[in-house]
Structure formats: C-alpha cells, structure tokens
Structure 1
C-alpha cells in the first residue's frame, strides 16, 4: 500500500474504529446526500475556494485529487476541510476512492497479462545474472586485485647507409660501418613483449603494483649496435618471466602521495608527466624521455618517492612537485673490479657510494590544457643518460668514478578536442659530468672525453585523427650529444666536439577495437655514431620501419 493510500484510509479507519457508535442524530443526512450525489469529481485543488496552500493537509489533498480523482466538493465550490467528518461521510469518500484504486489495479493486471511473456524473459535473465554473479564471487581471483595485461608484437627492420669507415661494428669487408651494421642487425625481425599488471588496492585510494614481464628483443630494436634504435616497448628476458615492477603507493592526507618499492622507476614517481607526446602510443624509447634523457633516464631499482599536489578547485591551474631516490645497484654490486678505485662486484646496496643512486626532483605548474616543468637529477658513478650518440655512450655513461648533474625544462599545450590541431610538446636537457677521467678498466682517457652534453626534442600528436580512437605523431630532436670536451692524457688533440645527430619518427595508430591497435611507424637517425662517424666527409645513418600491434586485456 503506497503513501497516498495510507493518507486516504487513515481518517476512514479511525472513524470506523471509533468506540462510540454513530446515531441518527449525529448524521446530517442532507449533507451526506449533497456530498454523495455530486456527479463530477474535482480535477484540481484550485477548484476549492476554501483550501489555501498554507493548510497543513494541502499537499495530501492535492495528491488525492490529481492522482486518483476521487475527491468531491460541495455544490458551492468548497471542501469544508475544518468541518467534522461523520462516519457516513467518510464511508462515501472511501467508496469513491476505492473505486478508483480498483480501476488502477485492474489496469495493472491487464498490463501484466499482456506483457507476461516479456516479463518471464526478464525474470529469467535476472535469475541467470544472479547465478553468474554467485559463481564469480565463489571463484574470483581476489576481492582486492585486478589483472590488466598487454601483449605487443613488433615486426620490422632497420637499414644503414653512408660511407663511414668507422670500426664501431668490426673490421669486415671494406671496413665500412654500413656493411658491418646491416650484416649484424639489418634482418627483418618479429618480437614480442608481454606485461601482466596485478593492481591491488586495500582502501580504494592506494595501489600495490606487481608486474610480470617477458620479452625477446635481442636485436636493433633493443638498442644493439646503435642504442638510439631501441623501442620504448623493447626488452630482452630471453623468454623468461621476471618481476618488472613491485611497489606500493599510498596517499597521506589530501596533498601528499608516497611510493615505496623493491623495484620501481624514478619516472613513475613524478607528479606530472612533462610531455603530451606519446600518450596515444610510443615508438622510439628516446622520445619517451621528454627531450632530456639525462634527467628522465628511467633508472629502476629499490626506490622511494613523494608527490605533492596543490589543492585547488577543479579546472584551475595548480603547482605540484615530486622527489625520488632510486638505487640502480640496490640488488648487487657493479662490475668494475679492474679499477681499484671503483666499486667491486661485492658492493652496491642503497645509499652507498656504489649504489648507482639517482635523485630526481621536479616542479610543475599545470593547467587543463598546458604545463610547464623544471627538473633536476643527480647521478652517482655508473648511472647513465640512457639514449645518446655512440660517442657519448662510449666514454661518459658508465662512469668508473665521478658523478653527473642534469637539468631539464619542458612545456606542452594540447587542444580541448581531438582532430587536425595537434598537441605540442617541447623539451631541453643539459648534463654536466665531473670526476670521469678514468674508464671502468682503471685507465685514464687518452683521447678527449665528454664533460658536458645537451639534448632537445619537439613532438606533435594528433588525437582522434580521421576517426575516433585513432592517433598520429611526429617528433624530431637531438638525443644526448657532446657539447664540451676535456683533453685526455695525449696532448695537442682537438677538444672541439663534433657529435651532432638528429632523430625523426612518424607513426599512425589504427584503433581496430577497444582492445586492439595497429601502429605502423618509420624513423630516421641522421648520424647516430656522432663523433665516432669519422672525418667530416664521411656519413652513417640508419632508417627503420615497423608495425607495432598491441593487445590489451
């Protein structure tokens, strides 16, 4: 019985149960007759001249009139709500309303009978869903953990050109770098990368991430030969499954988030990703480093980090900051046994001189469509700048001693909607090296070595280009290249750097389904060996093409 029926029946029930019986003297028969013989029911409460909106029962009376149409007034257009109601008058009112309720009930019965087959189907579906829910609850993997997986296939090849006589790839036929490189790395390859993320939350706001990973990139796409050809998705575990991430992230108050992990990455503990490029898809690993490989070098190991975000109204610009420490050698020691001044293979750990520690700090000012970031990284010996020319990598990355200081400045702008207007991302980095005069073997550099290097990039990305879910991207930049050299032990050598190199990439992602995408891409490296290319009249370049297919589940 609904609320309106309660409002209707309550006065009548009270009257019928009254302990004092009504007598003929209690009844005004003329009034009853006038009330019961009204032929037309009132259709609006406004028809009563004596019922005002301020009356306490105004809304209840209005509901009875408008929903059931069973309230009649006196011929003079009044309701006389303050007049005492006899049991006979209550019976007349109750009879009129019950007639309307019976009509509604009969109509419902007719509808139920007419849609009996459809209702039976719906009931069967509900019963089936309840059974499936019960089965899932009984067999679910975990009440706190969700599995997110990604499998990536890459089919592609690289090809070198130029007339460099560099011995970077051996001294085979003609002593040509191009021929040697193509013989070792130029074949078409088909590789995979699989990641299984177990996302666990105990409070709804925290995250315990456990990632299992396996892959088999043991070719140019993993940076062999020329480190700049490495893909963001590439890695090589020789088909073995290993723990790729294991960390716990949790909030403290409204503004702070902490991360602790036995295997975490510095760039995953940032308050803001400083670039809008690569959000739809990623190709070369270089362009996932935001134009500053020296700062965003993806150092991975035991780590801890803190993030602060300013609390502001939604849609307003805000400041944020982050700081983290990552010990790349937190598991075991480095392999510099040949140098007595360097770390031995028995050393390493966290917070030691041999930890290969990385301290990364970033400050951001972010609005809904744009961002400006500044970042700094300090690196101990044996840390690196991840992607750069072969010349920089050959003498300054894995330092037997010394350290590095790197800074980066980034900015991006993105449109509100996708289409033909792309997002624009800019990044620049500067790296300073000190105390790196000694190689890992313990021998000092005889030839000039790097003391300063720079990098930059510009990235354009089109979202929902030609079709919703599709995307396109183009990026150009210079990976880490030497801008300042120090003389080695051999006097009189030229210390003017000649290490320039440009990298381009172009790609278009077809979103085939919600879970499958296909991304053809090409890239070009103008001078990846840098200063190792040889005399100014010699050249060495690499062109690559691939099709990257991603399955998400």
Structure 2
C-alpha cells in the first residue's frame, strides 16, 4: 500500500511543490471549484466523453478509475486531459485519492481486527513451517535405496550349415577351448563341424535372465550399487556350452562370471561410487566391472539387443568388461573426460600364485580412456593391459574366434587399444544413429604358459571392428530398428605362421526390430548370421563348404 501511494501521489506532490507559475488572475477558479465540488466518482473511463482509446495515457487513466476510484472529472462529463494542470487542480485530485485510500485503509483495519484470531493461528503455522523447512535444509538428504529390475525371456535357436570336417589338430583346439570355458568336449576328429554343433546346441531353447538393482545413496551425490542376478543361460544355445562361442547374447554373462549354477541367485555387482571435489569421481568395489568405472561409453548402439560381438565399441580387447575386485577414478570437464581403472578377476583370493591384487595370479586388467562427447557426437580412445592368467580376462565372454580365444588364455600379457565413436541425429527420421569402432591387440607368450603355441602367439596381433545402425520411431513411435556388421576379434598377424595361421576372419551380421509394447515391456525379434565362426579352424581338411551359423531369437524384456 505504501508503494502504491508513493507512485500515485508522486507526480501530484511534485506539482504542488513546484513554484507558482501563474497568478490568481490567470487561474480559472470557477472551473477548479466545479472539479473540486464534483462528488460523483466515475466508474468507467467510457463515461468521459473526451477520452479516446488512442490516447497515450488511456490505460493508466483506466486503472486509476476502475481499480482505485479516485478520478472524478468535471460535471459536464469531460476529463480535459490536454489542459495544463494547475496547483489547485492537483490539490483537488490529491484530496480525492487520499479520501479513497483512507477508506481502503479503514476497511483493512476493520478486517484485520475481525480476523485477528485466525490470522494469529495462520502466523503460527507459517512460523512452524519455516522451522521445518530450516530443519530440512540443514538435513536435506537422508539415506535412500531404490530398487529396479529387468527380467528377460529369450526363445530361439541356431541352424548350422556346411560339411567341413575337423582334423585332429582342429578337434584338439576346439576341445581345449571348451575346457577353458568349463564346457564338455566339442567335436571328434573327422566329425563335421555342423553335425557337432547341432548335436550340442541344435534345439530351440527358452531361457530367462533376471537382474535386480539396489541403488543406495547416503549424500545424494554418491552411489552404492548392489546388483543381484539369476539366469539359466549356461547350457543354452547362447552360453558357454556352445562350441561356436560367437553367439553369446548380450547381458547374459552368467556363464563367464563364476555363477554357482543355473537358477542360483548371485551378487553380480557391489561397488561404491562417490565424488571427489567438483570434477573427479572415484569407484571402488569388491565386485565391479570395467565399464562401471568409465566416465563415457563410446557407443549408442543398444547394449541390450542381440550378439555380444556388437556390444563393446568394436574393441572387446580394450573394453573387456572385466569383473572382479577393483577401483577407478575419472575426471570430467564439459565434454572431456579421462578415466583410469584396475580390475583383478581373482582379487578375492589370498594365494598370490592364483589370486590377489597386483600379483602374477590376479588375472587383471588396467584401463585408461580419454573421451569427448556432446549431444550428437562422441569419440574415445582406450588402452587396456591384461594378464589373462590362463582365463578369459581381457576378452569378455570369449568374444573372438576359437583360436584367438585360446590365444588370449595362453598369453602372458595382452596390450589392447580401441578407437570408438558415434553420431546420432537430434530428431527421429530416415537418418540412423551410427556407432563404430576398431580394436588392435598385441600378444606376448612363452613356452611355460603356451607350450607349442608359444611361437605363434608371442608377437601376434589380433583385430576387431564393427558398424552399428539404429533407427528410432520406426513405423510406430517408440519402436526401433537396427542392424550391425563387423568382425569379432581374430588373428591378423602371427608370431610364427608355421605354428599359427592368421587366416582367422569371420563376418557377423544381425538385424532386429524392437516393439515397445508399453513403457516397461518390449519384444525384440532378431536374426543373425556368422559366415565363418570357427575362423582359421575351418581351413584345411575337407573344408570345401566350410561351416556357418544362422540363428533367430525373440526377446521379451520387462523393466520394473
């Protein structure tokens, strides 16, 4: 009210304080008396016959009349807005407004008196709320835990073609690989590859996977993640038992993570992540995976689609997703980030010969990544050093041709680099998102660990690449379509070609369409093809028609 009065009366008061510019003889006292004597306040600006909407002060005058009722005008129904304002007229206008404001003030005092008790109660409630808000601000975060889950049903199978037969050496390598993976012997010498594969994994199977995430925060900026997992993929067409180890389905790594068995619930992740200052984030865990400790993932090709081959930015050596005891640190500023982490698969074992942190038996990986990204584009370069220690650390899920997988297990160390990136359009349309990557791995081995293969593995190189495309909102909003092509990790250079032939290539394709049934349920039918899944093992013997793998799967995913 004080502010309004000041704004309203300021020009009038200034007029009153101004020096007298006219003598009494120059004043129209009769007109002033008429204005001052007018007691009938107008209620609408339209009552003035000489005020038009085109006047520059029309709206201001309308507000004074209709909101505050302190403009009377002249008895003849005119406002005479273009006539100079004398001090006498200013005094009359000021008196009318003061009378109106006094009426309003008296009415407010009466209302305040009448509702004095109610206002006191409200004032007390407001004070109480302010106290509670102050307490909440002082203790603005309490420990919270959120549960979310992902359940997946998968039904599908594989079909095998070609009439290539396994030689004695080829059968030995395949069976040795199965031993490394914990599976049964895969093939007999002289048996056709397709017959052996069909005998072991030729049936249609129905499998499930369940992930439960418990995310806890103590400060609002940290994260304690516990992931529980159960599934029965170990003996499925997509698990470790398959002699063609390139058909593993993404996210179903139970077979390679030391699960106690089908349908058994296991702790799949347990790590704590917290900020250090404004730009650094640290992660430490008794069961943490390499990608949990990276500030940036260099792909937008969906990680929950089909084959594992297309999940790791084209460089499964640089991004092996090693799971074990570990710690990491990343720095982010704008679009730039730098990450470094360490994971020991056997970090929970006390015997330094086959476990521990930083020992010969750790089966460990160390990774460094530098990356940059914005809303539409991202690129990263990563380096990973691995000591496989007779296992598959450094090559998640056996994501390579059989000879390369065995070469990893028998290497003393592997140095891997990967360059990966993506581009995605801002809006849905004909242009898909494009994700691509390439990886290069250098192996070293000695006869103590690799036996007769040492000369072939030591100094050998393996490579991989992929391109993945995804279209969003295809046919129906929310549905998506995708395809990918690439080569899984394969030997491209041998330490000794008389021992190990680097002719190890294999091409893989996948196509899928995701129906988004509801916000939480999706159905994804997919097909895939592997041209030469056994790589160089298909060379030699009766290999005129070789060996190939065609498969199909329908995945139903429930998120809750």
TM band (smaller chain): 0.7 to 0.9
Separation in structure 1 between the aligned mates of residue 350 and residue 534 of structure 2, nearest angstrom: 30
When residues 65 and 263 of structure 1 are mapped into structure 2, their CA distance, relative to the original with a 3 A threshold, is same
Q: Secondary structure at the match of 1:187?
A: coil
Distance 1:527 1:429 in 2: 20
Q: Supply the distance in 2 between the matched residues of 1:44 and 1:474 (Cα, whole angstroms).
A: 76
Pairing partner for 1:321 from 313, 320, 338: 338
Q: Does 1:398 align with 2:406?
A: no
Deviation of 1:74 after TM superposition, in Å, equals 4.1
CA contact (8 A) 1:403 1:436 kept: no
Aligned partners of 2:206, 2:489: CA distance in 1, in Å?
29
Matches within 5 A, 1:123-138: none
Does residue 227 (structure 1) correspond to residue 245 (structure 2)? The answer is yes
Q: Is the 8 A contact 2:446 2:454 kept in 1?
A: no
* SS at 2:447 equivalent: coil
- Report the CA distance shift for 1:92/1:34 in structure 2 as closer, same or farther (over 3 A): farther
* Separation in structure 1 between the aligned mates of residue 205 and residue 506 of structure 2, nearest angstrom: 26
> Partners in 2 of 1:327 and 1:68 — Cα distance?
77
Query: Which residue of 1 is the match for residue 195 of structure 2?
Result: 179
Partner of 1:551: 558
Aligned-pair distance for 1:7? 6.8
CA offsets, 1:502-526, max 9 Å, x none? 1111111111111111100111111
Q: Hey, what's the Cα distance between the residues in 1 that align with 2:336 and 2:37?
A: 78
Q: CA 1:470–1:36 in 2, change beyond 3 Å: closer, same or farther? A: same
1:293 aligns with 2:316: yes
Q: Deviations over 1:81-118 (max 9, x none)?
A: 656977x996677669999xxxxxxxxxxxxxxxxxxx
Contact 1:41 1:71 in 2 (8 A): no
Matches of residues 506-517 of structure 1 in structure 2 within 5 Å? 506-517=511-522
In structure 2, C-alpha distance between the alignment counterparts of 1:439 and 1:481, rounded to whole Å: 20
Within-5 A mapping of 1:51-62: none
Q: Match of 1:109? A: none
Partner of 2:70: 71
Contact 1:151 1:551 in 2 (8 A): yes
- List gaps (5 residues or longer) in structure 1: 12-29, 54-58, 100-141, 312-317, 335-342
- How much is the aligned-residue C-alpha RMSD, in angstroms? 3.7
Q: Equivalences for 1:27-426 in 2 at 5 Å?
A: 34-42=37-45, 65=64, 68=67, 70-75=69-74, 144-166=144-166, 167=171, 168=174, 170-171=186-187, 175-218=191-234, 219-224=236-241, 225-234=243-252, 235-236=254-255, 237=259, 238-278=262-302, 281-311=304-334, 318-332=335-349, 344=353, 347-382=354-389, 383-386=393-396, 387-394=399-406, 396-399=407-410, 402-426=412-436
3-state SS of paired residue (1:248): strand
Alignment correspondent of 1:456: 465
Cα drift, residue 323 of structure 1: 0.9
CA separation of 1:6 and 1:524: change in aligned 2, threshold 3 A:
same
Give the Cα–Cα distance (whole angstroms) in 2 for the partners of residues 532 and 266 of structure 1: 31
Distance 1:294 1:165 in 2: 30
TM-score by length of 2: 0.73
Following superposition, the deviation at residue 149 of structure 1 comes to 1.1
- Find the counterpart in structure 2 of residue 132 from structure 1: none
User: For residues 496 and 540 of structure 1, what CA distance do their matches in structure 2 show?
Assistant: 18
| Distance change (3 Å), C-alpha of 1:81 and 1:248 | farther
C-alpha separation in 2, matches of 1:479 and 1:391: 12
Contact 1:330 1:355 in 2 (8 A): yes
> Which structure's residues are more often helix, by fraction?
2
**Cα distance in 2, alignment partners of residues 495 and 319 from structure 1:** 41
3-state SS in 2 of match to 1:222: coil
TM superposition shift of 1:66: 6.4
